Amino acid sequence: MSPSRPPAPQDLLPLRAVDFLILLMLAPGERHGYGIMQDVAAHTEGRLELEAGSLYRTIRRLSRQHLLEESSRRPVADRDDDRRRYYRLTPLGRRVVAAEAARLRALVRLAEAARVLVPEPARQGAP
């Protein structure tokens, strides 16, 4: 059922908000499920609290789309359990997140141009 060849990033856009957030949380490095959920909750001020079922179903979907994969590496060896699974972005996943972010930025620019949104001054040191 998995496609034989990975698709191009543009074919997968736009991403669902949850997918985008999960992939984004993996951008700095590997995370395990609970960590992803905590990051998402923190970055959305607790508005989006993923539960196990929704998180792992999304993870399964994203991994079938080759956007993320399980990592065999254990960042902190001693306090870890075998059962804890870590995930990381695939190169494709990284390109897709970037493409989605760019798409969103374009939309924000559009909104600013339409004076729907006041342009935010670029902060010092912000990426």
Work out which of 7, 14, 56, 91 binds other proteins, going by CB under 8 A. 56
Using the rule CB under 8 A, is 33 a contact of other proteins?
A: yes
> Residue 97 is which amino acid?
V
For 4, 13, 57, 69, 113, the CA distances from 106, given in Å and listed in that order, are 32, 13, 30, 29, 10
Work out which of 7, 10, 44, 57 binds other proteins, going by CB under 8 A. 57
Upstream peptide bond of 28 is cis (omega within 30 degrees of 0): no
CB 52 within 8 A of CB 95: no
Give least dist CB 98 to other proteins, A: 27
Helix (H) and strand (E) counts for the chain?
Answer: 4, 3
Give least dist CB 34 to other proteins, A: 4
Window 79-118: residues binding other proteins (CB under 8 A): 81, 83-85
Q: Which is nearer to other proteins, 49 or 112 (CB)?
A: 49
> Contact residues for other proteins (CB under 8 A)?
1, 32-34, 37, 49, 51-57, 59-60, 81, 83-85
